[in-house]
Structure 1
Amino acid sequence: MNKIGFDNDKYLSMQSEHIKKRIAQFGGKLYLEFGGKLFDDYHASRVLPGFAPDSKVRMLAQMADQAEIVIAISAGDIEKNKVRSDLGITYDVDVLRLIDAFRGIGLYVGSVVITQYAGQAAADAFKRRLIALGVKVYTHYPIAGYPSNVQLIVSDEGYGKNEYIETSRPLVVITAPGPGSGKMATCLSQLYHEYKRGISAGYAKFETFPIWNLPLKHPVNLAYEAATADLNDVNMIDPFHLETYGVTTVNYNRDVEIFPVVNAIFEKIAGESPYHSPTDMGVNMAGKCIIDDDACREASCQEIIRRYYQALCDKRDGRSDDTAIHKLELLMQQAKVSIEDRPVVSAALKRSEETDGNPAAAIELPDGTIVTGKTSSLLGASSAALINALKHLAHIPDNLPLLPALIIEPIQQLKTQGLGNHNPRLHTDEVLIALSISATTNPVAKLALDHLSGLRGCEVHSSVILAQVDDNVFKKLGMNLTCEPVHQTKKLYHK
């Protein structure tokens, strides 16, 4: 476990230099559409071991004096209160979070653009809120026949109706809370306005996945398809690049499908297009920074299995149907993996069988050791597994209790009698708090806590779907959790 397959320092250096060259190619002004997650790209860090989740913003921070950020958000998403599933916050709230995060690392946020605006009241309210907070806000509008009606799009009645976003830096990064926010349209609208003003500018796209210079069925690229299985999109060979250069590269089907339109828009705006393929438009250098292909393949195969389990649990909770599951089963077949290739699965299920079918959990540690946890009167299975993992990492004897009953029982009494909770067992967050308090007087507890960082990157499997609080704790610890698609009880409501 924990093999490094990706050179993050090389990536930071190579990526920033490549973007600088693209800025120069267009005469000193580049609109860069930034896809994926900027601050917390945990998918990339899982499939490319060594890739830091904040690599993209660290790369931008190296160019802080040249870059400014424009955040796009769709008026429709504001109106619908669209939520980021990973963070559990609405897109408009995430815009505020992103502004704070960018400013926190010294990056300049120039403005927010509300796209697809058609008089939505919620968008108006959000605009007023941003202005009150001192943020510049611009408005872009729907265009009939977008994106195929190029004549209308590239006209005063198309992009011309959009407000021109005032920018002051050579690199303008267009990002968003999530997909469908109008990043590409914002970039191309700005190109239209720049050329109308006699300013030379260019457009490029930054997507980490799929990695264009890896084979189509490389596990890293298959893992990206797994991550987007609910969208039913696919990676494919870039036919435009193959025809023009005779070189096989990989791109996403939506980018391939839209390329002729984007190219036609570019030609109408600038007179000619510098690009011959979707691959040409990209600036991603991640594929050139893989230093251990086997490590990345192995990590990506594990990610595909994890995505499969997530799809099973989503279906169990009514959040999806069989479509994503069938897609992931096909991807597992292509990657030549199965659930048997995830050792914590069989360990957790075996432990559950040994305890009369009660919930159990298993954790695979960096040295390959698998520890398990069972349900008891004091602890939930995931809490017990967490304690056992810390004891193993800290070389604490198995028969030495980290949290004696005399510490746990008063907490249980508070939960049930004071707070009216029906489940007396301690969740993982309660265990860590109890351990932290114990550490002030108990050196063994402190020793265990000192090894908490050693859990990052470890694999976890539960024989039942965990409560949200336990799910969140494992996520915050950087542990990769999967669950069997069953609930511990037959209740309809699960917290």
Structure 2
Amino acid sequence: MRIGFDNDKYIALQAEHIRNRIDQFGGKLYLEFGGKLFDDYHASRVLPGFEPDTKIRMLKNLIDDVEIIVAINANDIEKSKVRGDLGITYDDDVLRLMDIFRSMGFLVGSIVITHYANQPAADAFRHRLDSLGITSRLHYPIAGYPYDIDHIVSDEGYGKNEFVETSRPLVVVTAPGPGSGKMATCLSQLYHEHKRGVTAGYAKYETFPVWNLPLKHPVNVAYEAATVDLDDANIIDPFHLEAYGQTTVNYNRDVEIFPVLKAMMERISGSSPYQSPTDMGVNMAGSAIVDDEVVCDAARMEIVRRYFQTAVEVKRTGVGHAQVEKLELLMNQAGVNASLSPARSAALLKEEMTGRPAGAMVLPNGAVVTGKTSTLLGAASSLMMNALKGVAGVDDGIDVISDNAIEPICRLKTERLHSKNPRLHSDETLIALSISSATDPLAAQLIEHVDDLRGCDAFFSVIISSTDEKLYRTLGINVCCEPKYEQHRYYHK
């Protein structure tokens, strides 16, 4: 895979920049972490060379100075809001995050339950935290938020929130997802710190949009594509342009709220250290790009992926047509179309030739392999096997798993498990391959090359099953599907 981003340089620059920001505020900084602290696969796709766990690795450089607060919105607990990428509720994700942070040696100071208004599910979650020995604090809805500054920055506003005692210079505030109240948590802490005579500051760590790349740079356009459901838009930061005469990029919500945020900081501490929303950021990603052509190509491909993901979701749910239209505009801005990946044309051609669903994948060396639907294997399974043969250097015509090994599994599915589809899914195919590897060196050879498919792009001529999609994503393979079903029916699993 081509590399366009210097990960080590980024970690060093970012850690140094955060240390400088801590010093700017006299040794205490509340840092709002936007996006994902780890498993940031969007960043790793659009900035080839960026590792999914880069941000948490960067924080490990500061580990003795770091304390983590996790914020969760009580309304999200009440609604059992689910993380789309993990399929778990936000409250369960809080515990997952805590386990990960603690396993890496980080101090997790407290859980802040924001927007608390006696929600029964939030009370139950707090009791659960108590039983686990986890400290939690409550933050309440504030009337007139965010515009009634006099009320918000008062003992009846932020002053009513429970204060989180912290002991480290860098307090990282993170959350399971957007809308959790991270910024309000930071500002509430600043209010309480100031009342206690402690000088503290606030900053924001958002990877995207990249402030020192052009507005229409593919990396920034890819961010708009990724957040199309939030209706975010990248814009020139007018406050930064006015204050410094420098053109920088931010997104609309931060620009819109900045005057209010600045007024709050002025009310809390007497003055604002920032003249623009760009000032608040500490992101150094743009300074670690070492090959702009590579990251541009990767970002354009990501825009197309987002288009197909959204088009498939519209097919599944019947809603979101406006999002598809916006993504079509973003593709036009980036100068690409839906057929950017050669895997798409290869998959559609294979379907046309065989009359059945098919798939294709671009291997690391640029070669394109295909997979067809057979009596024993689905298109995803067939493609998986052919891709593994491709990266392992095994002839495509060799049957690594014999039909004699596959047929009993197919019979088990239909005769005992009552499945209507006898064909093996891709996870079942990998299990069969793994079993065969105990006695077949060729099967063992293919298993050794599974990780070589990470980062590859696969395209299918129909919407594949959730089982196959999950397996592909677990292996780090980027999946796109034509927004159509294999069969015409009303209910699809």
Matches of 2:46 and 2:142 in 1, distance apart?
38
> What is the identity, as a one-letter code, of the residue corresponding to 2:446?
A
Which residue pairs with 2:95 in the alignment? 96
Matches of 1:22 and 1:44 in 2, distance apart?
23
Which residue pairs with 1:289 in the alignment? 288
Which residue pairs with 2:124 in the alignment? 125
Deviation at 1:126, TM superposition (A): 0.2
Which residue pairs with 1:21 in the alignment? 20
Which residue pairs with 1:385 in the alignment? 383
Which residue pairs with 1:312 in the alignment? 311
Instruction: Please give the per-residue CA displacement for 1:338-364, whole angstroms capped at 9, x wherever unaligned.
Output: 0121111111000000012x1100011
Report the 3-state secondary structure (helix = DSSP H, G, I; strand = E; otherwise coil) of the residue aligned with 1:180.
Answer: coil
Query: Do the aligned residues in 2 keep the contact of 1:49 with 1:296 (CA within 8 Å)?
Result: yes
> What is the identity, as a one-letter code, of the residue corresponding to 2:483?
P
Query: Do the aligned residues in 2 keep the contact of 1:386 with 1:428 (CA within 8 Å)?
Result: yes
Deviation at 1:407, TM superposition (A): 0.5
Write out aligned runs for 1:417-428 (5 A).
417-428=415-426
Which residue pairs with 1:368 in the alignment? 366
> What is the identity, as a one-letter code, of the residue corresponding to 1:29?
K
Which residue pairs with 2:344 in the alignment? 345
Number of paired residues? 493
Deviation at 1:232, TM superposition (A): 1.3
Cα distance change of structure 1 residues 87 and 250 upon mapping to structure 2, 3 Å threshold: same
Matches of 2:400 and 2:284 in 1, distance apart?
47
Write out aligned runs for 1:117-266 (5 A).
117-266=116-265
Deviation at 1:490, TM superposition (A): 2.0
Matches of 1:398 and 1:430 in 2, distance apart?
20
Report the 3-state secondary structure (helix = DSSP H, G, I; strand = E; otherwise coil) of the residue aligned with 1:174.
Answer: strand
Query: Do the aligned residues in 2 keep the contact of 1:393 with 1:451 (CA within 8 Å)?
Result: yes
Instruction: Please give the per-residue CA displacement for 1:382-405, whole angstroms capped at 9, x wherever unaligned.
Output: 110110011111111222101110
Query: Do the aligned residues in 2 keep the contact of 1:249 with 1:279 (CA within 8 Å)?
Result: yes
Q: 2:480 aligns with which of 482, 489, 493?
A: 482
Deviation at 1:418, TM superposition (A): 1.6
Deviation at 1:493, TM superposition (A): 2.5
> What is the identity, as a one-letter code, of the residue corresponding to 1:163?
E
Which residue pairs with 1:87 in the alignment? 86
Q: Does 1:38 align with 2:37?
A: yes
Matches of 2:173 and 2:489 in 1, distance apart?
45
Which residue pairs with 1:466 in the alignment? 464
Deviation at 1:102, TM superposition (A): 0.7
Report the 3-state secondary structure (helix = DSSP H, G, I; strand = E; otherwise coil) of the residue aligned with 2:70.
Answer: strand
Matches of 2:75 and 2:451 in 1, distance apart?
41
Matches of 1:167 and 1:90 in 2, distance apart?
27
Report the 3-state secondary structure (helix = DSSP H, G, I; strand = E; otherwise coil) of the residue aligned with 1:65.
Answer: helix
Matches of 1:320 and 1:191 in 2, distance apart?
41
Matches of 1:330 and 1:485 in 2, distance apart?
18
> What is the identity, as a one-letter code, of the residue corresponding to 1:145?
G
Instruction: Please give the per-residue CA displacement for 1:108-166, whole angstroms capped at 9, x wherever unaligned.
Output: 11110000001100000000101111110000000011000000000000000000011
Which residue pairs with 1:413 in the alignment? 411
Report the 3-state secondary structure (helix = DSSP H, G, I; strand = E; otherwise coil) of the residue aligned with 1:347.
Answer: helix
Report the 3-state secondary structure (helix = DSSP H, G, I; strand = E; otherwise coil) of the residue aligned with 1:144.
Answer: coil
Deviation at 1:199, TM superposition (A): 0.2
Query: Do the aligned residues in 2 keep the contact of 1:372 with 1:388 (CA within 8 Å)?
Result: yes
Matches of 1:396 and 1:199 in 2, distance apart?
66
Structure 2-normalised TM-score?
A: 0.99
Q: 1:457 aligns with which of 433, 455, 458?
A: 455
Report the 3-state secondary structure (helix = DSSP H, G, I; strand = E; otherwise coil) of the residue aligned with 2:193.
Answer: helix
Deviation at 1:319, TM superposition (A): 6.3
> What is the identity, as a one-letter code, of the residue corresponding to 1:428?
S
Query: Do the aligned residues in 2 keep the contact of 1:150 with 1:265 (CA within 8 Å)?
Result: yes
Q: Does 1:359 align with 2:357?
A: yes
Which residue pairs with 1:446 in the alignment? 444
> What is the identity, as a one-letter code, of the residue corresponding to 1:228?
T
Instruction: Please give the per-residue CA displacement for 1:391-426, whole angstroms capped at 9, x wherever unaligned.
Output: 111111222101110000011111111211111100
Instruction: Please give the per-residue CA displacement for 1:45-64, whole angstroms capped at 9, x wherever unaligned.
Output: 00000000011111111111
Which residue pairs with 2:299 in the alignment? 300
Report the aligned-residue RMSD. Answer: 0.7
Query: Do the aligned residues in 2 keep the contact of 1:311 with 1:320 (CA within 8 Å)?
Result: no
Matches of 1:323 and 1:230 in 2, distance apart?
10
Deviation at 1:494, TM superposition (A): 2.2
Quote the sequence identity (%).
62
Which residue pairs with 1:111 in the alignment? 110
Report the 3-state secondary structure (helix = DSSP H, G, I; strand = E; otherwise coil) of the residue aligned with 1:327.
Answer: helix
> What is the identity, as a one-letter code, of the residue corresponding to 2:245?
G
Query: Do the aligned residues in 2 keep the contact of 1:73 with 1:182 (CA within 8 Å)?
Result: yes
Which residue pairs with 2:55 in the alignment? 56
Report the 3-state secondary structure (helix = DSSP H, G, I; strand = E; otherwise coil) of the residue aligned with 1:214.
Answer: coil
Matches of 1:168 and 1:490 in 2, distance apart?
60
Q: Provide runs of 4+ in structure 1 moved above 3 Å.
A: none
Q: Which runs of 5+ in 2 are unaligned?
A: none
